[in-house]
A and B are shown apart, each in its own frame.
Chain A
Amino acid sequence: MAALATIGRFFLGFFAQTGQLAIFIGQTLMALARPPFYFRMIGQQMLRIGYFSLPVVALTSFFTGGALAIQIYYGGNQFNSEAIVSSIVALGITRELGPVLGGLMVAGRVSAAIAAEIGTMRVTEQIDALTTLSTNPYKYLVAPRVIAATLCMPLLALVADILGIFGGFVVGTQSFDFNAAIYVQRTFSFLQFDDVASGLIKAAVFGFIIAIMGCYNGYHSKGGAQGVGRATTNAVVSASILILAANYLMTALLFSS
């Protein structure tokens, strides 16, 4: 009986959370659609989410591109490896690794920061203060972060694509003595516009997920410092899992058709 009650409580909690998240997303979309728009806040958030995430995304992608080149070179047939390494690095980075790894790195950095900031505002009554000062917290706090993350993630993914391919190029030309001109030519001849575009679309969705999960967990945090800590952890974990799940769904959707 106790086991049944535990299972019941788990599912009730799960459905309650899902419903609360759906309402939160609905409120956010309404805030996105109607003025006022806080352009200065959007600019600030683009700087914090986009610009300051550049180093971590660039380094992650560069080393991943390099590692991928090594794996393909030693794991595959070394005959005609210039074409194989360059094309698989380009495809792997633009379609999957650039947006997904970039998304996960930004989730760790940005979701946590958003949840901590908004969570602290919640437990110190700053969100209540916003409301009493006739300012809608969804418009002032949530919408700018969601817009900024959704716009910045594709740009970060583009940077990740370029540096990932560059990482493969550096390893290929320095370690395996590939001809640089042929490597570049093979990369561009193999790469299609759709490969890059699909990655950028994915990245925009990941940006939305990162900001929403950070804002949602922060907005509903309670219980002082411990609550803010819990919100931060939940934001990163839920954003990361949702990014991987959304990536699978979008890959199936974009490439099976």
Chain B
Amino acid sequence: MTDKISLANVHKRFGTKEVLRGLTLNIEKGQSMVVIGGSGSGKSVMLKSILGLLTPDSGSIVIDGQETVGLAREKRSAIDAQIGMLFQNGALFDSLPVWKNVAFRGIQNEGMNEDEARQIGKQALRRVGLGEELLDLFPGALSGGMHKRVGLARAIASSPEIIFFDEPTTGLDPIMTDVINHLIQDCVQDLGATTLTITHDMTSVRAIADKTALLYKGEIIWHGDQAALDASKDPFLHQFIHGLAHGPIEVEGQQLEAAIAGLDS
């Protein structure tokens, strides 16, 4: 299968801190890739680099056969047009009602009129299980779960070929987590999109991943499918998926052994 997204030897440094250290990852067309990793492992920096919001110091990021590193924003408009993104907190525009948020791309870039935009908004909301009574509400009037679902509606409104999900279930209760996971599964299947999800929620991983990769200290140190995830004896993966305090993964900003010893005494 051809790779829809391909990252090779990507490096990114902020001051003295090297966040991505030669990250290499390939995502096949139509595949649902989930990247897991602890806080500070470089997940968000990787995602922002793919989206062109950050420029890597070196390495290559190819989307649909086109190199994007160093590509000016105006020149990647064709790539941007086929990308949908669900941000961690929804990132809905506070000053716009739901229908304008959901149909934002169409209104701004395709000159869509109000009737068409509302229609697009209605369809996208229906896809994520929300009613049209929400169309005229502003984001401030929505609950956390609704915020996320409207964000998902915006991400899929233009039927993109690639969708990115940034911690899609963080901060949600278990029931809403399950709802969001199912919605992501359904949307991806309906659209046949290639997706990349970053999360540390193992429930999401099991629900939506075709393939999983573990990011640690700016490198992919393990990747495989669901069966390989359960069968793997990799000590890093084992510690992460079982949420163990002890293991080879260093907890950022904490002398873990000393902290645990302090608690025991």
| Chain A positions near chain B (C-beta within 8 angstroms) | 36, 120-121, 124-126, 128-136, 140
Given contacts A132-B51, A135-B108, contact A125 B94 (CB under 8 A): no
Is the beta-carbon distance between B89 and A140 smaller than 8 angstroms?
no
Nearest residue, chain A, Cβ from B54: A128
Most buried by B among A120, A128, A129, A140: A129
Question: In the complex, which of the residues B81, B83, B88, B154 contacts A125, with contact meaning CB atoms closer than 8 Å?
Answer: B88
| Interchain CA distance A140-B108 in the complex, whole Å | 9
Chain A residue numbers with a CB within 8 Å of B109 are 133-135
Is the beta-carbon distance between A128 and B108 smaller than 8 angstroms?
no
Chain A residue numbers with a CB within 8 Å of B73 are 131, 136
Is the beta-carbon distance between A132 and B80 smaller than 8 angstroms?
yes
- Main SS of chain A's interface residues? helix
| Interchain CA distance A135-B89 in the complex, whole Å | 20
Size bracket of the B interface: 20 to 34
| Chain B positions near chain A (C-beta within 8 angstroms) | 48, 51-53, 73, 77, 80-81, 83, 85, 87-89, 91-94, 104-105, 108-109, 154
Is the beta-carbon distance between B87 and A129 smaller than 8 angstroms?
yes
Chain B residue numbers with a CB within 8 Å of A135 are 104-105, 108-109
| Interchain CA distance A120-B85 in the complex, whole Å | 19
| Interchain CA distance A99-B109 in the complex, whole Å | 39
Nearest residue, chain A, Cβ from B84: A132
Given A120-B94, A133-B109, 20 extra CB contacts under 8 A: A121-B93, A124-B89, A124-B91, A125-B91, A128-B48, A128-B87, A128-B91, A129-B91, A132-B51, A132-B53, A132-B80, A132-B83, A133-B108, A134-B80, A134-B81, A134-B108, A134-B109, A135-B105, A135-B109, A140-B108
Given contacts A134-B77, A134-B80, A136-B73, contact A129 B85 (CB under 8 A): yes
Q: How far is the CB of A179 from chain B (nearest CB, A)?
A: 53
Q: How far is the CB of A107 from chain B (nearest CB, A)?
A: 22
Chain B residue numbers with a CB within 8 Å of A131 are 51-53, 73
Chain A residue numbers with a CB within 8 Å of B94 are 120-121, 126
